């Protein structure tokens, strides 16, 4: 609820502090005293646009600050927590308008955007002004009224969880179906590429090794000839080098006794002779492996040709890259089968979720339809009591083709002000005064079922008096037992119901300027004010007595 409103440098207000209390807060005052200025300042707190035209002194900034008591308000607490704006104690909202025209907003001294201010304001205050047709004419608001009275809160939460899962399932299904469609477009080509690679069955580094083998086989004849020539020089020629070294080594061995160094040299010659003998034998053995094999060369050449074509086709240069491509193609082809299985599973899930959502939506529809007659009767009864005996409301609930987040129903309030039998949408036929009283009747019923923010009614009594005004006051009083209600009124029958009476007036400043001010009235002052509303500036004794009687009816 609103606890205090502070306004500085706004319109004809220098600085005032207005304290509000729980229950019914009534604001009265002469026409032009500044009641609408209070509402205008409060509108800034609720996110209204502003400019420098509201500045009283153009060289100073305008500041409007409002403190709220929000204990036990779950929706507000959740919003502040998520937005990281929560502070212990009162909630304080402030709006500043600089002389330059720049506007800033604060929640608990933290700068916020105008959008954040508006989001919070919806949870704090419901400001209903004369000719404000928007909310009452909205289908969402009308559905909320029916759901509140039908006690559908828990059922809607349950349904929305199912609906959310259904939407998520459909999103996943659409994504997979699109993915499969793309797979299908490429499936034949991918299968062709995969089969082409799979048929050749390449192994790691195969083409590189085949290229090396081909080079070897292509030069086998020349290599074998070189090996034969080397072997001949070493061991098979007319003067084999191995035998020559053996003979030289033997000669030197005869003279080793004559010089110690000759023994070492002879041993080295023998070692060299032995090493060359081993080399000659290995060369001879190796030569047996270098037999030109034209059939093998043809096989290798054919396989390499196929591999090199694939290199070019896939813009790669190694066998490993071809194998990577083959594995990727395999994954894509396997993915088609896996996607088909997932799609089938999701279709079954979607079917089950849809059936459950339809079932839950049907239960919501049943509960809403059951509330139509009681709602119509209750509102029509209250309309008669507030001076609209010929007015009727009709609640139409029609089923839409598709599910939405609130079920499958379109709720629409129709209105007939004169028993014409022609019911039309409220937004088209109800006048400003009718809308105000209709909104009061509806919200007084809803307040019994749900938690509403502070309600503000600006001159809801336009066009009524007498018994109708009295009934409006009674409904407001009943409504204020659940929530805080603030109302600007010119009707004494409504003012008499106040738990807290604020009087708006103008007073002259020492510099002869006029300023709006507000003060809280005690009981005697209230009697006088209500009597003045009944009988003029100088009320008669009868008017004073009537004022006391009105207040004593409480």
Count CB-CB contacts under 10 A for residue 126: 19
CA 320 distance to own-chain centroid = 45
Q: What is the DSSP letter of 419?
A: S
The C-alpha angle 278, 280, 284, rounded to 5 degrees, equals 115
Lowest mean pLDDT among 193-207, 214-228, 354-368, 519-533: 214-228
The C-alpha angle 113, 17, 476, rounded to 5 degrees, equals 85
Q: What is the DSSP letter of 232?
A: I
Q: What tens digit of pLDDT does each residue of 428-463 get? A: 766 666 777 888 888 888 876 766 778 888 777 777
**Strands 125-129 and 110-112, bridge-based pairing:** unpaired
Residue 135 predicted with pLDDT over 60:
no
Residue 130 predicted with pLDDT over 50:
no
545: its two tokens: 């007595």
Structure confidence at residue 429 (pLDDT): 67
Structure confidence at residue 376 (pLDDT): 93
Lowest mean pLDDT among 193-197, 306-310, 374-378: 193-197
Q: What is the DSSP letter of 101?
A: S
Domain ranges of the chain: 1-131+434-521, 178-338
Distances (CA, A) of 443 to 129, 377, 389, 460: 14, 15, 19, 13
Q: Which residues pair with 411 in a beta bridge?
A: 397
Lowest mean pLDDT among 134-143, 421-430, 458-467: 134-143
Distances (CA, A) of 151 to 248, 404, 412, 482, 535: 121, 19, 18, 17, 46
Q: What would the mean pLDDT of 99-120 be, rounded to a whole number?
A: 90
Structure confidence at residue 353 (pLDDT): 95
**Strands 392-404 and 407-416, bridge-based pairing:** antiparallel
Burial 212-234 (b: 16+ CB within 10 A, else e): eebeebeeeeebbeebeeebbeb
Mean pLDDT score of the chain: 84
**Strands 110-112 and 103-107, bridge-based pairing:** antiparallel
Q: How far apart are CA 7 and CA 427, in angstroms?
A: 34
Residue 25: closest CA among 517, 480, 492, 551: 480
Q: What would the mean pLDDT of 530-552 be, rounded to a whole number?
A: 87
Structure confidence at residue 138 (pLDDT): 67
Q: How far apart are CA 379 and CA 374, in angstroms?
A: 9
Count CB-CB contacts under 10 A for residue 451: 15
Structure confidence at residue 104 (pLDDT): 92
The model's pTM? 0.63
Q: How far apart are CA 224 and CA 54, in angstroms?
A: 108
Structure confidence at residue 431 (pLDDT): 66
Count CB-CB contacts under 10 A for residue 390: 11
Percent above pLDDT 90 for the chain: 25
Residue 129 predicted with pLDDT over 70:
no
Burial 250-275 (b: 16+ CB within 10 A, else e): eebeeeeeeeeeeeeebeebbeebee
CB contact at 8 A, 91 and 107: yes
521: its two tokens: 């009235």
Structure confidence at residue 241 (pLDDT): 82
Burial 487-505 (b: 16+ CB within 10 A, else e): bbbbbbbbbbbbbbbbbbe
Lowest mean pLDDT among 66-75, 212-221, 405-414, 482-491: 212-221
CA 300 distance to own-chain centroid = 62
Count CB-CB contacts under 10 A for residue 398: 10
CATH value of 1-131+434-521 in 3.40.50.720, 3.50.50.60, 3.40.710.10, 3.40.50.300: 3.40.50.300
Count CB-CB contacts under 10 A for residue 201: 8
413: its two tokens: 């309030």
Structure confidence at residue 231 (pLDDT): 77
Report the residue count for the chain: 554
Range with the largest mean pLDDT of 275-289, 452-466, 536-550: 536-550
**Strands 514-520 and 110-112, bridge-based pairing:** unpaired
Q: How far apart are CA 57 and CA 71, in angstroms?
A: 37
Structure confidence at residue 403 (pLDDT): 93
Q: What tens digit of pLDDT does each residue of 365-420 get? A: 999 999 999 999 999 998 888 888 888 999 999 998 899 999 999 999 998 888 88
Question: Which is more confidently placed, 284 or 269?
Answer: 269
Sheet holding 407-416, edge to edge: 392-404, 407-416, 424-425
Structure confidence at residue 132 (pLDDT): 43
Q: Is 64 helix (H, G, I), strand (E, B) or coil?
A: strand
What is the biggest distance separating any 2 CA atoms in the chain, rounded to whole angstroms?
165
Q: Is 409 helix (H, G, I), strand (E, B) or coil?
A: strand
Q: What would the mean pLDDT of 489-507 be, rounded to a whole number?
A: 90
Residue 133 predicted with pLDDT over 50:
no
Count CB-CB contacts under 10 A for residue 238: 5
Structure confidence at residue 430 (pLDDT): 61
Please, which pLDDT band fits residue 119 given cuts at 50, 70 and 90? confident
Q: What would the mean pLDDT of 521-547 be, rounded to a whole number?
A: 88
Residue 155 predicted with pLDDT over 80:
yes
CB contact at 8 A, 18 and 4: yes
CA 540 distance to own-chain centroid = 63
Please, which pLDDT band fits residue 131 given cuts at 50, 70 and 90? very low
User: What is the DSSP track for 426-469?
Assistant: HHHH--HHHHHHHHHHHHHHHTTTS---EEEEESTTTT--HHHH
Range with the largest mean pLDDT of 253-257, 262-266, 541-545: 541-545
Please, which pLDDT band fits residue 168 given cuts at 50, 70 and 90? very high
CB contact at 8 A, 479 and 465: no
Q: How far apart are CA 57 and CA 99, in angstroms?
A: 9
Percent above pLDDT 70 for the chain: 94
Structure confidence at residue 458 (pLDDT): 78
């Amino acid at each position: 609820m609103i606890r205090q409103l502070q306004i500085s440098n706004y319109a004809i207000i220098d600085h005032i502090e207005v304290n509000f209390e729980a229950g019914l807060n009534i604001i009265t005052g002469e026409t032009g005293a500044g009641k609408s200025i209070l509402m205008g300042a409060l509108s800034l707190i609720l996110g209204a646009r502003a400019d420098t035209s509201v500045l009283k002194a153009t060289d100073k900034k305008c500041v409007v600050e409002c403190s709220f008591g929000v204990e036990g308000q779950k929706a507000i607490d959740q919003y502040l927590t998520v937005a990281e704006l929560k502070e212990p104690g009162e909630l304080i909202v402030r709006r500043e308008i600089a002389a330059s025209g720049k506007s800033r907003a604060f929640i608990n001294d933290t700068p916020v955007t105008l959008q954040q201010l508006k989001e919070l304001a919806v949870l704090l205050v419901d400001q209903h002004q004369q000719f404000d047709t928007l909310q009452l004419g909205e289908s969402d608001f009308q559905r909320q009224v029916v759901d509140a009275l039908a006690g559908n809160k828990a059922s809607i939460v349950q349904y929305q969880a199912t609906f959310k899962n259904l939407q998520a399932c459909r999103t996943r299904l659409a994504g997979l179906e699109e993915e499969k469609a793309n797979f299908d477009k490429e499936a034949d080509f991918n299968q062709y590429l995969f089969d082409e690679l799979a048929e050749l069955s390449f192994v790691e580094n195969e083409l590189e090794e085949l290229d090396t083998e081909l080079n070897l086989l292509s030069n086998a004849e020349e290599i074998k000839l070189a090996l034969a020539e080397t072997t001949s020089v070493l061991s098979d020629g007319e003067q084999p080098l191995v035998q020559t070294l053996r003979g030289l080594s033997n000669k030197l061995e005869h003279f080793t006794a004559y010089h110690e160094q000759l023994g070492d040299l002879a041993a080295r010659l023998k070692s060299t002779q032995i090493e060359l003998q081993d080399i000659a034998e290995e060369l001879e053995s190796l030569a047996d492996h270098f037999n030109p094999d034209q059939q093998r060369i043809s096989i290798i050449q054919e396989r390499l040709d196929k591999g090199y074509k694939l290199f070019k086709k896939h813009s790669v240069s190694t066998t490993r890259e071809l194998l990577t491509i083959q594995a990727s193609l395999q994954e894509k082809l396997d993915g088609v089968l896996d996607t088909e299985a997932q799609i089938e599973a999701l279709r079954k899930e979607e079917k089950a979720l849809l059936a459950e959502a339809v079932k839950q939506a049907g239960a919501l529809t049943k509960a809403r339809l059951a509330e139509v007659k009681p709602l119509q009767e209750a509102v029509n009864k209250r309309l008669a009591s507030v001076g609209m005996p010929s007015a009727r409301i009709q609640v139409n609930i029609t089923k839409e083709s598709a599910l939405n987040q609130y079920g499958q129903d379109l709720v629409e309030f129709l209105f007939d002000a004169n028993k014409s039998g022609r019911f039309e949408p409220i937004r088209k036929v109800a006048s400003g005064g009718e809308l105000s009283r209709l909104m009061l009747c509806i919200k007084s019923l809803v307040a019994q079922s749900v938690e509403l923010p502070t309600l503000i009614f600006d001159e809801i009594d336009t066009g009524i008096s007498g018994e109708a005004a009295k009934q409006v006051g009674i409904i407001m009083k009943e409504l204020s037992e659940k929530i805080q209600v603030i109302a600007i009124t010119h009707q004494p029958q409504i003012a008499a119901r106040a738990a807290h009476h604020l009087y708006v007036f103008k007073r002259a400043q020492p510099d002869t300027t006029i300023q709006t001010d507000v003060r809280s009235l005690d009981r005697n002052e209230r009697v006088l004010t209500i009597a003045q509303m009944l009988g003029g500036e100088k009320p008669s004794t009868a008017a004073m007595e009537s004022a006391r009687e009105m207040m004593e009816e409480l």
